[in-house]
Structure 1
Amino acid sequence: MANLKIGRMVLGICQTNCYFVYREGCVDVIFIDPADSGDYIYESLKEKGFQVKGILLTHGHFDHIWGSERLRELSGAKIYAYKEEKALCEDSVKNVSEQAGRAYTVVPDEYLEDGARITIAGMTCRLIATPGHTIGGCCYYFEEDRMLISGDTLFQESVGRTDLPTGSMSTLTRSIKERLYVLPDEVKVYPGHGEPTEIGWEKKYNAFCQ
C-alpha cells in the first residue's frame, strides 16, 4: 500500500467536495476539484503545512472549477483534465458558470487521454473516462490504496444529473457499469457531493445502475 491519506473541504454554493490526497508524513498534496475560492484553499492548506503540487479536474462544471485558476496562480501547480472536457472547461455557457452568475473558464496545462497514469509528488493515479454527467467527465483511481475520486459520476446510491449541456443518462449508467463496477468491491468512492461509499455497496444498492 502507498499509505495515502485523503482530506476534504466542502466549498461553494453547491457544497462541492474538494479533496486533497497526500502521503502519510509528507507535505505535498494533489488537489482535486477546487470548487471555489482558490485563496482560501491555498491558505488553509498552507496553515497545515501542505503544498499543492498538482490540480486534477473531474469535469468542467462551474462548481468544480471556480477556484482552479487562483489556486494554480498561488501554488504554481499544473492543472490536468480529461481531453474530452475541453469544450466545457473553456466555455462559460457549457460549464454553466454564466448562468450561475459568475462566468468562468479555465485552460488546463495538460489535457489527458483515457487511461493516462498521472504521477505527482510520488503519488500515482489513473484517469478513467466516465462520460455521461458531462461529455468529458472522469474519475481518478489511486489503485494501490483502493481510492476512487468519482466527481459527479457516481454518488452514494445515486448518480450525477444529466440535464445540463453534453449530459446523457444512458451514457452515464454505461460508464458506471463498464468502467467503475469492474473495480474491486472494496474500493472507497469519494464523490463530488455527499458522503463516501464503496463500489461493492453501489453495485448492490444503487437503483440507477441495476
Structure 2
Amino acid sequence: MEMEHINENTIRVLIESADLEERGVTFLDLLGNHKQIENFFYSILEEVDVDEQFHESDAITFQVLPNGNGLELFISKGGPLNDQLDFSSASEDLNSDEFSQYIKKQMIQNAEKSDNKTDEYVSHTEDETKEIVLKFNEFEDMIELSKMMHLDNAVTNLFLYKDIYYLNLIFFIDELTERSADEEIALALEFADKTPVTQGILEEHGKLIMEKNALELTRHYFK
C-alpha cells in the first residue's frame, strides 16, 4: 500500500489487489458486504493515521476510484464535496451503514460504463423483455462468463442466495442486434445452470451483490 500527499489537504492511498488479499478481502466483499467495507476502510484510515495527518476536528471526505491494479482512495479535509459524505474524526455518531452504502455506490458508479442506457431500458414493458435466472457452481464461473459475454442491451443482476450465486439476465428484445437472446442464453449456459429459483425469490430472500451491470462490474474488478 502506497501513500502520498497530493497537497496539504489531500492524501492519495493506492491499494493494490495484493493489499486486499493480505487483509482477506476481495472486491466482491467490498461490493456486497457492508461490514467488510466498514472494517477495511477504517483499517486503512488507521494505517494512514489520518488524525496525525489532519487536525482531529477536520471534516474528512472520501473518493474511491478503481484502477487496473486495485483502488485509489483520496482522503481530503475540509467541507463536503458534491455527492460525498462528510465524516468528522471527532464525531461519535458515525452511521456505518451509510458509509458502507456510500463506498459501494462510488465503486459501482466509477466502474459502470453505460448506466444511463440501462436505466432507460428498465422502464420497458415485460412484452419487450426476455428474462432468465441462472446459478453458478462457483463464483469463478461468473468471472469466466463475464469475459465472454458483452451485452449492450440487457440488465444483469447478481444475487447471493443460500451461499449460491445467481445471475438474473433481462434482455430487451427490440434492441438486440448481433445475437438473439436465445444465443446469448446458450452461451451463458456453458458457465451456469438453469434454476427454478425466480427473480422474486432472489429479491425477497437473497442479497443483491451487483445491480444492472453485473457482468461489466465483474469484468472490471476481476480481470
- TM-score, normalized by length of structure 1? 0.29
* Structure ID, larger Rg: 2
Q: Which has the higher contact order (CA 8 A, sep 6+)?
A: 2
- TM-score, normalized by length of structure 2? 0.28
